[in-house]
Amino acid sequence: MGQLTTHVLDTSAGRPGSGIAWTLYRLEDGHSLLCNGITNDDGRNDGPILSGEAFMAGTYELHFEVGDYFRRNDATLGTPAFLDTVVLRFGIQDPGEHYHVPLLVSPYGYSTYRGS
Protein backbone atom coordinates (compact mmCIF):
# COMPACT_ATOMS: atom_id res chain seq x y z
CA MET A 1 0.00 0.00 0.00
CA GLY A 2 1.24 3.52 -0.79
CA GLN A 3 1.69 6.48 1.46
CA LEU A 4 2.21 10.23 1.50
CA THR A 5 5.14 11.87 3.29
CA THR A 6 6.65 15.36 3.40
CA HIS A 7 9.83 17.14 4.49
CA VAL A 8 10.37 20.89 4.92
CA LEU A 9 13.79 22.48 4.53
CA ASP A 10 14.51 26.13 5.34
CA THR A 11 16.88 27.05 2.50
CA SER A 12 17.57 30.51 3.94
CA ALA A 13 19.07 29.02 7.11
CA GLY A 14 20.27 25.66 5.78
CA ARG A 15 18.31 23.63 8.30
CA PRO A 16 15.11 21.58 8.64
CA GLY A 17 11.86 23.52 8.93
CA SER A 18 10.87 22.34 12.39
CA GLY A 19 7.60 23.27 14.05
CA ILE A 20 5.76 24.15 10.81
CA ALA A 21 2.03 23.51 10.96
CA TRP A 22 0.59 21.74 7.91
CA THR A 23 -2.90 20.75 6.81
CA LEU A 24 -3.87 18.21 4.14
CA TYR A 25 -7.04 18.54 2.06
CA ARG A 26 -8.58 16.31 -0.59
CA LEU A 27 -10.13 18.28 -3.45
CA GLU A 28 -13.17 16.32 -4.46
CA ASP A 29 -16.40 18.31 -4.25
CA GLY A 30 -14.62 21.14 -2.43
CA HIS A 31 -11.89 21.05 0.19
CA SER A 32 -12.21 18.09 2.56
CA LEU A 33 -9.92 18.34 5.58
CA LEU A 34 -8.11 15.02 6.01
CA CYS A 35 -5.50 15.69 8.69
CA ASN A 36 -3.02 18.18 10.07
CA GLY A 37 0.16 18.21 12.08
CA ILE A 38 3.44 19.94 12.85
CA THR A 39 6.85 19.06 11.46
CA ASN A 40 9.31 17.54 13.93
CA ASP A 41 12.91 18.65 14.61
CA ASP A 42 14.00 17.10 11.30
CA GLY A 43 11.29 18.99 9.35
CA ARG A 44 9.30 15.79 8.80
CA ASN A 45 6.18 14.19 10.13
CA ASP A 46 6.79 11.33 12.58
CA GLY A 47 5.01 8.93 10.23
CA PRO A 48 3.17 9.02 6.92
CA ILE A 49 0.74 11.90 6.52
CA LEU A 50 -1.68 9.62 4.71
CA SER A 51 -1.71 5.85 4.19
CA GLY A 52 -3.99 2.83 4.16
CA GLU A 53 -7.54 3.07 2.86
CA ALA A 54 -7.53 6.88 3.13
CA PHE A 55 -4.68 7.07 0.60
CA MET A 56 -6.46 7.09 -2.76
CA ALA A 57 -6.13 8.59 -6.22
CA GLY A 58 -7.19 12.20 -6.50
CA THR A 59 -6.13 15.81 -6.13
CA TYR A 60 -4.80 17.09 -2.81
CA GLU A 61 -3.48 20.26 -1.22
CA LEU A 62 -0.87 20.58 1.50
CA HIS A 63 -0.95 23.95 3.29
CA PHE A 64 2.22 24.93 5.16
CA GLU A 65 2.15 27.84 7.67
CA VAL A 66 5.63 29.12 6.86
CA GLY A 67 5.02 32.74 7.89
CA ASP A 68 4.55 31.69 11.52
CA TYR A 69 7.73 29.61 11.31
CA PHE A 70 9.82 32.50 9.95
CA ARG A 71 8.41 34.93 12.52
CA ARG A 72 9.37 32.52 15.35
CA ASN A 73 12.87 32.33 13.89
CA ASP A 74 13.31 36.12 13.69
CA ALA A 75 13.28 36.37 9.90
CA THR A 76 12.72 39.86 8.55
CA LEU A 77 9.29 39.77 6.91
CA GLY A 78 7.27 42.59 5.45
CA THR A 79 3.68 43.33 6.39
CA PRO A 80 2.03 41.41 4.97
CA ALA A 81 4.67 38.71 4.55
CA PHE A 82 5.46 37.78 0.96
CA LEU A 83 4.86 34.11 1.86
CA ASP A 84 2.58 33.25 4.73
CA THR A 85 0.79 30.02 3.79
CA VAL A 86 2.36 27.93 1.03
CA VAL A 87 -0.21 25.80 -0.78
CA LEU A 88 0.99 22.82 -2.80
CA ARG A 89 -1.64 21.23 -5.05
CA PHE A 90 -0.69 17.81 -6.39
CA GLY A 91 -2.25 14.66 -7.76
CA ILE A 92 -1.98 11.05 -6.68
CA GLN A 93 -2.43 8.76 -9.63
CA ASP A 94 -1.39 5.39 -8.17
CA PRO A 95 -2.25 4.83 -4.49
CA GLY A 96 0.04 1.80 -4.49
CA GLU A 97 3.11 4.05 -4.71
CA HIS A 98 4.96 6.25 -2.23
CA TYR A 99 4.42 9.97 -2.85
CA HIS A 100 6.93 12.24 -1.10
CA VAL A 101 6.15 15.97 -1.37
CA PRO A 102 9.03 18.05 0.04
CA LEU A 103 8.99 21.81 0.47
CA LEU A 104 12.16 23.89 0.14
CA VAL A 105 11.33 27.35 1.46
CA SER A 106 12.74 30.75 2.32
CA PRO A 107 10.86 33.96 3.23
CA TYR A 108 10.75 34.95 -0.46
CA GLY A 109 10.49 31.72 -2.45
CA TYR A 110 9.82 28.01 -2.44
CA SER A 111 10.05 24.91 -4.61
CA THR A 112 8.79 21.37 -4.49
CA TYR A 113 9.06 18.13 -6.46
CA ARG A 114 7.93 14.56 -6.27
CA GLY A 115 10.55 12.82 -4.18
CA SER A 116 11.04 9.19 -3.32
Q: What is the pLDDT of residues 49-70, one digit of tens each?
A: 999 999 999 999 999 999 999 9
Among 111, 27, 99, 116, smallest CA distance to 64 is for 111
- How far is 93 from 84, CA to CA, in rounded Å? 29
Q: What is the pLDDT of residues 23-57, one digit of tens each?
A: 999 998 888 999 999 999 999 999 999 999 999 99
Q: What is the pLDDT of residues 82-102, one digit of tens each?
A: 999 999 999 999 999 999 999
| Domains delineated in the chain | 3-112 (2.60.40.180)
Is the pLDDT assigned to residue 116 strictly greater than 90? no
**Residue 82: predicted pLDDT:** 94
Among 32, 17, 3, smallest CA distance to 86 is for 17
